[in-house]
Structure 1
Amino acid sequence: MFRRLLILFDASADPEQVLTAARRLAPAPDSVHLYGLSPERRDLEAPRPPSLNALDRFWEAAKDWHVGTGIGHQLEDHLDVDALTLSARQHHSELVVIGPLLGTSPHARARVILSLAIRERLHVLSVGAHCPTVPSPTSRITLAVAPDGRGLGSVVDLITKRGLPRTELIALTSTEAPGRADQLHALSRALGVSETLRMESLAQSVLGRAEAFESAARRCGADLLLAPADAVDDMEALMLGLFGARALQDAHVPTLLLPRTLPTSPLFEERHAVSDSLLLPGLEPRFAIERVGLLLNVSVPEPGVLTVFEGGSPLGSSQHQGGTATLPASWFSHVRSGHLPALAFTCDSAPGEPIPCHLLAPERPLLLVDSRLALEPLGDVLARMSGTSHPVFVRLRDSEPLDTCRERLRKQLPGLMPPLLVDASAWLDDLRADDVPRQVDAQRLLRVAVRLAMAGAAISAVITRDEHKPVHPFIRTLTESELLLLSEGDAPAPLLLPEAPDTISRELALAGGGQCAGGHAIDFEFDNAAARESAIAAIDAARSTVHWQCYIVEDDTVTARFAEALQRAAGRGVHVRLLADALYSGHETFGVMNPVLVKLSKTPNIEVRAIAPLSGLPSLSALKQRNHRKMLLVDTEQAFITGRNMGAPYYTGFNEVALRRTSHYRDVPWLDCGARLSGPLVSDLERAFLAEWTRAGGAPYPVPVAAPAGEMSARLVLHEGLEDTHTLDTQLALIRHAKSRLVLVNTFPLLLELQNALVAALRRGVRVEVLFGSVRPHYGHQDHFAGGTFREVADRYVRSRLDAVIDAGGIAYEFAMPPAPAWEPELERVFPHVHAKLLVQDTATVAVGSANLDVTAAYWESEALLVVHDAPFAERMLAALEPLLATSRRIDREDTRWRTEAEQRAWVGRNWPSLVG
């Protein structure tokens, strides 16, 4: 029997099922190592974590189990195949017992089982959710064997070497031809199986094989199902992992998977793959490196060194990290336009056969194509266009390995040899888009094109497979059907790119499509009360129009003051137009109406429109594609572009509230910021408001030309939901070109791509400072105001994305306000929420507006960002930030509390993106 066990179990589940199955195969093991899965914290602070109580329950239930001296345990918060495999190796496990993992995907569980049995050649006992909790009085074993007898050899080996008790063996096989049963009987006798071997013939297809074996085992009254890995070929094992996972998870009969003894095919052998790349004048070539494991599972390899060969000679070695290698362009100085050298890589972390790929120095414009596009109807078109453009296929997700994808392209497009396959994440540096949903792949494809255009590549078009097509002022985008309409002609010519005096200006124009314009007067305001009074004063001075677009309209005393000002303006004959997001303002959505907006709409000269009302069962796109802009426009002469919504948290000063320890968290004002603008860009904001106004059903109106009002230069960046990513690309361009200092003010979880850009800036020697707030406000020494408990999870998420920046040398401050006269003295410092969206680059540029630094702002919601190119303005902004930083708490990564919460932050950071992305 088995002597050394590793037991993988769900810490929240009852251990009896696992124990009952394990005891049968190991009644007196020498050692048992428990590997528990628990999403909870694993430290030993009070109160005692429930996961540790689960360990106590396990050993209490196993108190009469005769285990030797080797007893140990570990708790993990997620299922990691590599970590589990390492643990099995370290403990020299002979048998791995895997219980029901109710909080884990059945496919992930099946992948672990097959990996251990086929790649690691271990015995694996799968205990399903409905397996018995008490021992069976019988000893009837069923065998899942192939019709040709494959698998019987490992069964005999188990019986003879392990002494498995049995009274009857029942062979279950999918016999299609007569006479197979006799052959199997003869083979079993030749192998020495002397017990009664009863045949149960199954006719189910491979897609239902796991369910069929489970059902037959129950019908036969079996206590154990033996499943030799040798009994299935590689494709059948793949089907088992894909289609039999649920049956294994919910099984009534324990299944012992016997290890593979036959040679393993490439489907189960670990290998590495490398993308192709491009040699461009303004960017070093970038390659994606990945590890391909069991069932074509793709993962990021450990950091290491790549050695690059061309023509059998080494060009050099370079570090790779995070699945990306950036190589010196000097290595390829001999490559000429149109030349496609074949490169080979060897990876020190997985020495073996060289990994092939290609490098293209384009002589023609690039035609970027989504690699998952249905290529059969497009083959002739792409082949014809290859005379005037270089077709480049872009892999947007790693659900398909690079080498598998490349081979598929070869077969589908025999006229394009070899197809050039690049990886989106290698160029975007977004960690394989772990926090970015599949629905925005069309935008990511366009962003790859923008990145390449910034590096000097000419882009003829971007071909997307998605129904929604992103748009860009300087890059043409086409759907599959639009491409087919071009079948009689060549590839479209690249659009003209904007002229710019320097590299950063060119990149900013390409990123956001907004040109820099002079003639502006611009100011900003951190003080909520001053911002409120300034807005009210502007409304009271309005002569012709007041246009206000808002994301959230609260029903409180501050909103009441704004409503009164708007009504006063309307009473003077001013035309007031209000736009509010239907979902977040609760207006014309699912039958709900916002009382403030209803009241205002009944006032003469005031029109109210809801943006994108919802009813019935909305799609994810309808829920996520909201308009997040906040702007107030007066007489097309003055504009407020801000992060503030209409309500008390945004427009109440910290010294205007009497905070107590018993105060509700919503009583604590937030730190916010907005810009007040006069000059030509006010007309651009008016046109953006008009476009949304008419989409919401409002009548068009003329937009006057705003006159120059000052000497400052600025550009307006507008992001339109799934149509583009202008604000994200603008933020990234500013970060990439920072020379000395970056200051960011925001409390939203950093998009991983922005996180990477900040880390890269730190490595260049840029000083990076981040001021963030507390989504759930607190005071003193981490004492929270009443309410908002769930907001603590959001705090963990925000902070989890700052850890990498802090570890790389970034400076982070948790915003705090010193005691105010009206506050209860015992509060000491108060740590409010920070709602501002602000980026300061060096002492030259400031970006302020509605755009956060998270995935929602980057891809889903419509945003407005004002980029001010004025050194005195940037210096005044930094001077205003200094006292805020001085009163805040600077994060010390060695701080006990910060380190204690690291595991919680890491868990939330891994798991929450799948919920909110």
Structure 2
Amino acid sequence: MGVNHWRRKVRPRRAVFPRTAPVELPVGDSGTRVTVYTYGEDLFEDMLAAIRGAWHRVLFESYIVKDDQVGQRFKEALIEAAERGVEVYVVYDGFANLVVPRSFFRFPPSVHVLRYPVFRPGVLLLNIRKSGRDHRKILTVDGEVGFSGGYNVGSLYATNWRDTHLRLAGPAVWELENAFVDFWNRHRLPELDRLGEAAWDSHLRLHRNVPELLIYPIRAVFLEAIDRAKERVLFTQAYFLPDQELQRALIDAAGRGADVNVLVPEESNHVIVDQISRSQYSALLRGGVRLWLYQDAMVHAKTATVDGQWSTVGTTNVDRLSLTGNYEINIEIFDKGVARHLEEVFANDLANCRELTEEEWDNRPLLSRFGELVLAPWRPLL
């Protein structure tokens, strides 16, 4: 960690990396449209515009909200919406925002706020239903537009991090609203009323990990998709620590002849996670999985596509904390147009990557091998 701190001081990351402009795409024939964002400034401007245009209800949930210029703009927009009569509900994670002054999250009474607690009763008794952080990111406005994906709210994420987020417009927004309402009603009184009517859409589904109910469907979604792969698998992940079943699924897909690619940051914002993740590189590389290391910037996206037909974008990292620990949310899309665009995003990101070869990895320094060996036993905890 000391080395990591030193690196950040002497080698600050540049804020220039390949960008893909936002593109709106139709999904199926239900009337839902999806916009893909890969740059924070573009996303935040559209999120703020949606809040400012709200006339009935705003539901806002974020893992991290920084007390900086961007965070203040969001806070002001939410308060202004409440002052003009809009119902405004805000959820944030207490633990993730310990470094943010509590005063920043003081809103007028017209804004309803839920702070997901740092510790819940039962955690110390190892009750896993009371574990997990609220790692979700949701914004819905008037039941007409909704946003979800990897972006937290803050100036750093606006320009310096590469992430992926979706904007939904149309019937599928109900899925995001319903997810927010379920979480709110489980943790806060008075309860929120159910919003709108459910709409079935075979092209788009929303999956939620809910520790309170021991429900973790997102891991199964990944496994099912990889198991069907015939041509190509493209994963972009901030923190990549697959369990044995996910690792085996990727290797098996490569063994069937699929082109399996995983894109991760060469140096993420969590140096310990990097070291633990690297302990799996040998098995992946020997199994035919191609590893791409994103250069000079933090890639925080959580996306995957398979065979140009299936895609998912969400908040879930491929690690134990996300897959079987936190409250998470992922949007699963069966649409060739969306998959094709996400493949284009992946190709654009490769311009800022270098491929890690098996030969290079086998010749890594002894100190790196030692670090991986020491930290590998901690992998099940992360």
TM-score, length of structure 2 as denominator length = 0.83
Q: Deviations over 1:116-155 (max 9, x none)?
A: xxxxxxxxxxxxxxxxxxxxxxxxxxxxxxxxxxxxxxxx
Q: CA deviation at 1:771?
A: 0.8
Larger-gyration structure (1/2): 1
Aligned-residue Cα RMSD (Å) equals 2.6
Deviation at 1:623, TM superposition (A): 7.3
Moved more, 847-856 or 685-694: 685-694
**Cα deviation 1:719-761 (Å, max 9, x = unaligned):** 1116122000011101101110000000222223211110111
User: Do the aligned partners of 2:238 and 2:268 also contact (CA within 8 Å) in 1?
Assistant: no
Instruction: State whether structure 2 residue 147 is matched by structure 1 residue 636.
Output: no
- Residue 714 of structure 1 aligns with which residue? 204
Q: How does 1:744-783 map to 2 (within 5 A)?
A: 744-748=235-239, 749-776=241-268
Is 1:832–2:324 an aligned residue pair?
A: no
Query: Does 2:279 align with 1:796?
Result: no
Q: CA deviation at 1:893?
A: 2.2
Correspondence 1:454-493 to 2 at 5 A: none
Pairwise CA distance, 1:556: 1.7
C-alpha displacement at 1:908, in angstroms? 4.3
CA distance change for structure 1 residues 806 and 694 in 2, over 3 Å: closer, same or farther?
Answer: same
Q: Who is 1:556 aligned against?
A: 68
Relative to structure 1, is the Cα distance of residues 596 and 803 closer, same or farther in structure 2, using a 3 angstrom cutoff? Answer: farther
Q: Name the residue aligned to 2:181.
A: 690
**AA at the equivalent of 2:32:** H
Give the conservation status (yes or no) of the 8 Å contact 1:718–1:727. Answer: yes
Name the structure 2 match of 1:573.
85
Q: 1:898 to 1:876 in 2, by over 3 A?
A: farther
Q: Offset at 1:586?
A: 3.1
Q: Which of 111, 115, 119 is the aligned partner of 1:610?
A: 115
| Counterpart-to-counterpart distance in 2, 1:896 and 1:852 | 24
CA separation of 1:814 and 1:533: change in aligned 2, threshold 3 A: same
Equivalence for 1:911? 377
Q: Aligned-pair distance for 1:583?
A: 2.0
Contact 1:610 1:696 in 2 (8 A): no
Q: Which one of the candidate residues 585, 594, 609 is aligned to 2:102?
A: 594
Say whether residues 1:527 and 2:39 are aligned partners: yes
Cα separation, 2, equivalents of 1:904 and 1:850: 31
Does the aligned pair in 2 maintain the 1:612–1:696 contact within 8 Å?
Answer: no
User: Out of 340, 357, 379, which is 1:875 matched to?
Assistant: 340
Change over 3 Å in CA distance of 1:754–1:518 after alignment to 2 = farther
Q: Distance in 2 between matches of 1:794 and 1:848?
A: 21
- With over 3 angstroms needed to count, the CA separation of the structure-2 counterparts of 1:616 and 1:684, relative to structure 1, is closer
Residues 321-355 of structure 1 deviation map (CA, whole Å, 9 limit, x = unaligned): xxxxxxxxxxxxxxxxxxxxxxxxxxxxxxxxxxx
Pair 1:890 & 2:355 matched = yes
CA–CA distance in structure 2, aligned partners of residues 871 and 712 of structure 1:
13
Separation in 2 of the partners of 1:905 and 1:741? Answer: 32
Give the C-alpha shift of residue 546 in structure 1: 0.9
On the 8 A contact 2:268/2:274 being kept in 1, the answer is yes
Q: Distance in 1 between the 2:189 and 2:56 partners?
A: 17
Letter in structure 2 aligned against 1:648: S
Aligned to 1:809: 288
Aligned to 1:725: 216
Secondary structure of residue in 2 paired with 1:519? coil
Q: 1:881 to 1:864 in 2, by over 3 A?
A: same
Q: State the 1:865 CA deviation.
A: 0.8
- Aligned partner (choices 323, 327, 333) of residue 858 of structure 1: 323
Cα deviation, 1:40-87, whole Å, max 9, x if unaligned, reads: xxxxxxxxxxxxxxxxxxxxxxxxxxxxxxxxxxxxxxxxxxxxxxxx
Q: Which residue of 1 aligns with 2:6?
A: none
Q: State whether structure 2 residue 378 is matched by structure 1 residue 899.
A: no
Give the secondary-structure state (helix, strand or coil) at the position aligned to 2:331.
strand
Matches within 5 A, 1:304-383: none
Aligned mates of 1:519, 1:706 — CA distance in 2: 15
Match of 1:646 in 2: 153
Call closer, same or farther: CA 1:728–1:533 in 2, change over 3 Å: same
Larger relative contact order (CA 8 Å, sep ≥ 6)? 2
Post-superposition shift, 1:678?
1.9
CA distance in 1, matches of 2:301, 2:190: 33
Write the mapping of 1:114-129 to structure 2, written as runs, cut at 5 A: none
Partner AA of 1:702 in structure 2: D
Range 898-907 or range 616-625, more displaced: 616-625
What CA distance in whole angstroms lies between the structure 1 residues aligned with 2:227 and 2:123? Answer: 38
> For residue 94 of structure 2, what is the aligned residue in structure 1?
582
Runs of 4+ in 1 over 6 A off after TM superposition: none
**Alpha-carbon separation, structure 2, partners of 1:517 and 1:553:** 35
- The offset of 1:673, in angstroms, is 0.7
Residues in 2 aligned to 1:909 and 1:840: alpha-carbon distance in whole angstroms: 30
Contact 1:682 1:706 in 2 (8 A): no
Query: Do the aligned partners of residues 714 and 616 (structure 1) sit closer, same or farther apart at CA in structure 2, a change above 3 Å counting?
Result: closer
Residue 743 in structure 1 maps to residue 234 in structure 2:
yes
CA distance in 1, matches of 2:252, 2:332: 22
> Which whole-Å CA distance do the structure 1 matches of 2:50 and 2:76 have between them?
13
Q: Which amino acid aligns with 1:571?
A: E
Query: Which amino acid counterpart does residue 105 of structure 2 have in structure 1?
Result: L
Partner SS for 1:577:
strand
Cα deviations by residue, 1:211-241 (Å, 9 ceiling, x for unpaired):
xxxxxxxxxxxxxxxxxxxxxxxxxxxxxxx
Structure-2 change in CA distance of 1:558 and 1:593 (3 Å): closer
State how 1:45-194 maps to structure 2 within 5 Å: none
Measure, in 1, the Cα distance between the counterparts of 2:246 and 2:301. Answer: 17
Deviation at 1:707, TM superposition (A): 9.3
SS in 2 for 1:562: helix
1:843 equivalent in structure 2: 308
Q: Deviations over 1:492-533 (max 9, x none)?
A: xxxxxxxxxxxxxxxxxxxxxxxx994311121111111111
Q: Is the CA contact 1:674–1:849 (under 8 Å) kept in the aligned structure 2?
A: yes
Quick one: which of 670, 677, 696 aligns to 2:161? 670
TM superposition shift of 1:690? 1.2
Q: Where in structure 1 are there 5+ consecutive unaligned residues?
A: 1-515, 654-668, 778-790, 817-830
Q: 1:548 to 1:530 in 2, by over 3 A?
A: same
Contact in 1 for aligned 2:121/2:130 (Cα 8 Å): no
Matched-pair identity in %: 28
Shift of 1:675: 0.8
Q: CA deviation at 1:878?
A: 0.8
SS in 1 for 2:31: strand
Structure-2 change in CA distance of 1:865 and 1:899 (3 Å): same
Instruction: Give the alignment's TM-score, normalised by structure 1.
Output: 0.36
Q: SS of the residue aligned with 1:912? A: helix
Against the structure 1 CA distance between its residues 851 and 896, is the aligned structure 2 distance closer, same or farther, given a 3 Å change threshold? closer
| Partner Cα separation in structure 2 for residue 880 and residue 593 of structure 1 | 36
Change (3 A) 1:770 1:583: same
